[in-house]
Amino acid sequence: MGRAGTTVSAALPPGPRLPGLVQTLVVGNFRPHVLPLLERRYGSVVRMKVLPHRDIVMLTAPRATTIRPESA
């Protein structure tokens, strides 16, 4: 945690350099088709820019996550 008055930010993963409008259309319309391509190029965690001017982080493969059941 940063000191008062400072900004703490985490580095975002890599992603395509296409304009935000193009990335928004790809994420919205062609996600199942481009996820394998994104994974090959950038790995299992990818940053996409979507409108209006936001960065989203997508997991491209189910194996990128681990879900642990709660203990009883």
Radius of gyration for the chain, computed over Cα atoms and rounded to the nearest angstrom? 15
Asked if residue 65 has pLDDT above 70, the reply is no
61 vs 20 pLDDT, higher one? 20
- CA-CA distance, 65 to 72, in Å (whole number)? 22
Contact assessment for residue 47 and residue 59, using Cβ atoms and an 8 Å cutoff: no
What percent of the chain is modeled with pLDDT above 90?
44
14 torsion bin: left (phi>0), alpha (psi -120 to 50), beta (else) = beta
